[in-house]
Every structure is written in C-alpha cells, then in structure tokens.
Structure 1
Amino acid sequence: MADVVEAPEPAARAPRLRGLARARGLLGTVPFFAYVAIFLVVPTLVVVIGAFAGDGGFTMANVTALGDQYILAAFGRSILLSAVTAAIGAVLGALLAYALVTARPGGLLRRVVTAASGVLAQFGGVTLAFAFLATIGLSGFVTVFLRDHLSIDIYSGGVWLFELPGLALVYTYFQIPLMVIVFLPALDGIRPQWREATESLGGTTWQYWTRVAGPLLAPAFLGSTLLLFANSFSAYATAAALVSQGNPIIPLQIRTALTSEVVLGQQNLGKAMALGMVVVVAVVMSLYALLQRRTARWLG
C-alpha cells in the first residue's frame, strides 16, 4: 500500500505565502523606484557632483560664486515671488475650498470646481503665457477693449506683465487651484459635531474658529502654503516663455548659465545655482512633511 503524503499544515504554509506576497509587493514598486532613480536621484547627483567639479577636480569656486550680487538678487526675487504668490494663492484658495465644503456634498458645483482645479493647477508653461499675452498683453483683447472703449491703459505705468508683477499674476493663476486641491481634504476633516459642541457650551462663531477649527487647520494651511511656495520657486517654463529679456529669477539665471558663454573656471556655475535651489526646496518640503504629519493625526 502506497504511503499517503500528508498536506502541509496551514500554519506551515503561512510563512511561505507571506513571503510570496511580500515579494510580489516589492516587485510592484520596481517601476516607481526606477522612475524616482532616473528622474530625481540621478539628476540630483549630477547637480551635486557638478557643483563641486572644476577643471582640476574638486573645487569650491562654483559654490563660492553664489555669493555674487547678481545671483543673490536672483535668489531674493525668486523667494519674494514665491512667497507673495504662495500667500495670495493660499488665502484665496482656502476661501474657495471652504465655499466648496459648505456646498452640497457630491453636488455638481463641487465636482465641477474640483475637476477644473485639477486641470488648472497643471496649466502652465508656454500655453499659460500665451493665454495671458492674448488676454492682457500689449495687444490682448482685454487691453484693447479697455483702451479703445473705456480709455483705460493698464500699461500706463510700464510693461509690468513681463516683469515680477506680471509673473506674480500668472503664477497666482495656478496657485489658487492647487491650494483648493491640497487644502480641501483638511476642511473635509472638520467634524460638524465640533461646532455643535462649541455652540452647546455657549461658544461663539469667533471662538469656534479661533480655538477649535483654526488650531486644527493651521498645520494643514501652513503646509499647503509651503507646498505652493515650492511649486512657485521651482517653476520655469512659464517665466521662460513670458520673460524674454533679463533674468529676474533664479531658474532663468540658471538657463543663461547653461546656454550662454561662461566665465573661465565657472563652467559649472549653473549647477551650483541649481544646488542652491535644491537646498531651498528640500528645506521647504521637509517643513511641509512635518506639518502634514501633524495634520494626519486628527485628519485620520
């Protein structure tokens, strides 16, 4: 009579099944890590290594050159532009997001606005610059209408659209919908019962917002503002298409350093400026991650 082979116990099969599930899970992350390595890790390493590379090998000349007045001025204008557009976009976007929260959940208004915000937040580059030029440019239809029919010249004080004020206006266009997208989940996390509890205890609307909802939403609001700052600080295509002369912000300064004639011994100055941008964005995003972690404690 042949021996009967007993099936392995479920307890013995469990570790093997968990190992297979873990292996399949790791295999599924391969495309993600490959994408991160190719488009984030490798370019960052190229920038970091190039910032300290010279004709004779390692050098600090490129990093030291970041102290030049014109580079510091470009960084200052970029930080100012990013801070202003982040603040304006955060306030207006938060108000719009709050209006959506007060609307009927799942209603047509909310679906349309959130869908439009998702599209407009990614609307930039040459397309966005052309849209503003066709609208409020020197020969834009709004400019021509105001000048011919209302005798209003929006450029009486200068061609501001191609300078920092114009960049601020254009950047705010995509900062507001981005704020709606990133801040809306935090507003959705506010429980109606918290307001009812405040009112039942005799609290006013001002006390509810300053002592309950405000402190809870503050980390999410500040974190979203930092995200808007990083988004504006790293934007390039829109400014490159809109500003044809001069380098008012650091991304355009890097473009000039990489595409035009350079000073002998400063061939990698553009990479050093890019390293400065990486440091600024890394600091901002680290603060954003800390604030998001605090927000997740009550949002979840």
Structure 2
Amino acid sequence: MSNIENLFSKNEFPWVTPNKHQWDTEKSYPKLSVIVPSYNQDVFLEETLLSIINQNYPDLELIVIDGGSTDNSVSIIKQYETHIAYWVSEKDRGQSHAINKGLEIATGEWVAWMNSDDCYLEGALYYIFNEIDYHQYDFLHGSCSSGISIKNRNCVIQEKNYKKAPFQLLLFFLAVKYIIPSQSVFIRKSILAKSGFIDEHLHYVMDMEWFYRIYKQTDRRFFYKNAICFYRHHVNAKSTKDVDLVKEESKAVAYSKWPDLNVWQRFILKRLIRDEQGLSSFVHYPDNQTIKKAIHTFFKYPVSALYNKHYWSVLKRVVIARS
C-alpha cells in the first residue's frame, strides 16, 4: 500500500497519550482482557495496540496472538511488550483459532477482541466502564465508525437496535443494520462457560455465530448508541476481498440454526435468503438488459425490492445514464 504514513495522524490519538479522561483512583474497575489476533499486519498493528494501551484502563490484560507473521509484526509487539500481559507468535489455524487461544488465556471478568487493523477511539473504555451500568449486563455492543483511517472516518450512529433477538443476528447477510461490530463488543467471561468459544470451522462470520449462541444464553444485553471503535477499510480486509464468501457463510450459518426457529421465522428466513439471492443478481451484476432485468426482479421479489435501497440506487443510476 503506497503512502501508508498518510493514514496516520501521529499528533492525535492514539499516537499521543490522552489526558482527557481521568480514571477515578478510588473506584474499583473490573479486569478487562482485550485479545488482538494478528497475522502480517505490521502496517496497522502499532496503531491498534496504541489505541488499547492509551485508554489507560486501570486493570487491563492485553493479549496478542500472532499467527507467525513474517513481516515486522514481532518487532512492533516487542516494542510494547511492557504493556502486554501475554503474547505469542506461532503458526495457528486462522483468526478464529487465534481468538480462542486468547480466550483460553484471558483472566479478565470481561473480554473483548480487537482485530489488528481496527482500533478503539479515544475514551472508549472510559465510556463503557463509567457511563454504562455494566454490572447488570453480560453482553455490551454498539455502533462503529469506519473508513480508511481514524482521521478520515464516518461516524454513523445507529439510533435503533435492530439486534434485540437471536433470530435477527441470522439476518447478517441481509443488511448492515443486523451486524454487531465485533470491535464494539464486551462480554462477561463467565457467560462463555454456557455459550462456548468461537467455532473454528468458520472464517468470515464466526463472530455472528458466536454472538448468536451468547444471545441464546442471556438476555442481559445492552445496546449503546455511541461509536467508540473504528473499523478500517482496506484492500486486504477479508470483508472487502471476499464479499460473496461472507454472504454465503452467513446464509449457511443461518440455515444451521434452523432447528432453533419457529415456523414463522423459518418462513421469513427462507424467503429473505431467496429474495436476497435474486436481488443480488441484479444489484451486483447489472448488464445491458438492466431495465428489463430490474422490472423482472421487482415482480418476482416485490417486497424485498421495495425495501432494498441498493436496488433503487442501481435503477436510478441506470435511468439517469440512459436519459
């Protein structure tokens, strides 16, 4: 990636230790384990680590699980190892396995994971453990900002929680509003004795499937609107490179939960997957017969087309282009 230095504002958080939030030295905060799985991400890894370390959280257990990187990652980890409770660099079976290795080691009352190309924003942990009554919950999640850099990001605050029930998590494939950003999640570790760890057979939507199982075990969940984390868009991100594979694995996971669903939920899921597949052939692969195909798609999948903004966006562009 060219001009990589332009992605970082080294006079701003997290490169400069923040003094904005003062932790109450007389207050007891729960131990928090933050797991960073990483493999050949030396370009972004330092900023990720700093975004965690510079929260200045009073009882932090930072765990870095590197998959045997061949770039400069280990040097970066060693540079900050006085702030790291545990780190390892060895070949593993992928991201899901790396996170599970971290979960097995973690001793915190709460656990979180941050991918090595993503970050917390300034004051993230202060907000979670001061502004939220976290004591009464097992699972916290919220909005997430995104972009190519922290400085150049979109802070989209999701005003409504579309993920109140386990079934809604299975609609991951359908729209962004059904996605729980893993960067925003904090989990009480004791609940994992019931839900289990991450399914290592999954490579794209392992978080969605894991959160689904946690949802099934506890309704002590809280949605916060604030965007306290950052998801980075870049060409090598799995969700960017493998969009179709993400959707296919998401649908496969949704169908795997079929026995959990009632008759109405099964009907809805089957129809939404069918319609989404039909709409995708128009939205993502428009051809010279676009207008004709759009009309055909609308009559075949009227409900889904009516509420699909991508459908109308593509149709609008085609109409303008031909006028």
Question: Which bracket does the TM-score occupy, shorter chain normalised?
Answer: under 0.3
Give the TM-score normalised by the residue count of structure 2.
0.22
Higher relative contact order by CA 8 Å / sep ≥ 6: 1 or 2?
A: 1
Give the TM-score normalised by the residue count of structure 1.
0.23
Larger Rg, first or second structure (1 or 2): 1
Q: Which has the higher helix share?
A: 1
